[in-house]
């Protein structure tokens, strides 16, 4: 091994550590708090701590895990739960398509990108897109592996720890931890909405869910989402037209 090989290994380790350090970033810490809430919901659903932790590591998408918990509590069949989770996870496909080319460099192995694609979720995608311009292309896989794997493992361990700890906590504290999950989704959606249309859709959707539930309880989220999305798109287009 010559000096250049040693330098490359040291630089790779450096960028892995840099990626691991992003576990202390605000998006990562918010995701950790959300998984505290997930641990409480999983405990209430009647599954074991190992099953909850296994779900976090293998599915690695909090909305999909919540859908699976809902399917378990509702007594849905395995096929119905799989379809629902698969449809929910389709939203991650554009993220993978957008991020993987940013990680690919000369000599990058396809199996490396395939493995790392498992760790592409909203938080990892947001942080990677923000930090990649400062990371040399040939070390981006090392950087993302450091962050993505660390983020997944930490949240898996957090769920296992919190699940067992909640048996010793007062009911009020457990309920407060469960409330962190919707707070996470609200703040992350608001933060990722970069324009008026996206933020308006968020608030209109929350307002529309009440009448939608009264009209059609089985399709309230779908109705509220479509109605709020179309209304916010119209308002956003009108606002852009006035600026022009």
53, two tokens: 């932790």
Contact 139, 11 (CB under 8 A): yes
Residues 132, 134: Cα–Cα separation, whole Å: 5
pLDDT of residue 171: 65
Contact 11, 149 (CB under 8 A): no
How far, CA to CA in Å, does 187 sit from each of 13, 31, 193? 33, 11, 10
pLDDT of residue 203: 83
pLDDT of residue 116: 92
- What are the start-end ranges of the H helices in 166-219? 171-192, 196-215
Instruction: Look at the block and give the residue holding tokens 């009020």.
Output: 172
pLDDT of residue 6: 45
Q: Helix or strand or coil: residue 121?
A: coil
Residues 197, 228: Cα–Cα separation, whole Å: 10
Per-residue pLDDT of the chain (244 residues; tens, 9 = 90+): 444 444 488 888 999 999 999 999 888 888 888 888 888 888 888 889 999 999 999 998 888 888 888 888 877 778 888 888 888 788 788 888 888 888 988 888 889 999 999 999 888 888 888 889 999 998 999 999 999 999 999 999 999 998 888 766 666 666 676 676 677 667 766 666 667 777 788 788 888 888 888 888 777 777 887 888 888 888 877 776 666 5
Residues 210, 166: Cα–Cα separation, whole Å: 31
């Amino acid at each position: 091994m010559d000096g250049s090989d040693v330098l490359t290994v040291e630089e790779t380790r450096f960028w892995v550590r840099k990626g691991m350090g992003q576990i202390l970033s605000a998006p990562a810490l918010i995701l950790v708090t959300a998984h505290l809430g997930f641990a409480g919901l999983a405990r209430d659903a009647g599954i074991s701590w190992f099953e909850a932790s296994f779900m976090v590591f293998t599915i690695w998408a909090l909305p999909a895990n919540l859908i699976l918990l809902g399917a378990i509590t509702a007594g849905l069949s395995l096929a119905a739960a799989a379809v629902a989770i698969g449809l929910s996870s389709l939203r991650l496909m554009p993220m993978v398509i957008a991020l993987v080319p940013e990680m690919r460099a000369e000599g990058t192995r396809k199996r490396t990108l395939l493995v790392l694609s498992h760790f592409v979720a909203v938080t990892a995608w947001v942080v990677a897109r923000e930090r990649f311009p400062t990371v040399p292309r040939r070390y981006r896989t090392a950087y993302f592996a450091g962050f993505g794997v660390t983020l997944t493992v930490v949240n898996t361990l957090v769920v296992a720890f919190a699940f067992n700890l909640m048996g010793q906590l007062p009911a009020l504290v457990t309920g407060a931890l469960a409330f962190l999950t919707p707070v996470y989704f609200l703040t992350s959606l608001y933060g990722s909405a970069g324009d008026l249309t996206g933020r308006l859709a968020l608030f209109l959707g929350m307002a529309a869910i009440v009448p939608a539930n009264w009209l059609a309880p089985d399709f309230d989220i779908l109705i509220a989402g479509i109605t709020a999305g179309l209304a916010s798109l119209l308002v956003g287009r009108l606002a852009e037209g006035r600026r022009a």
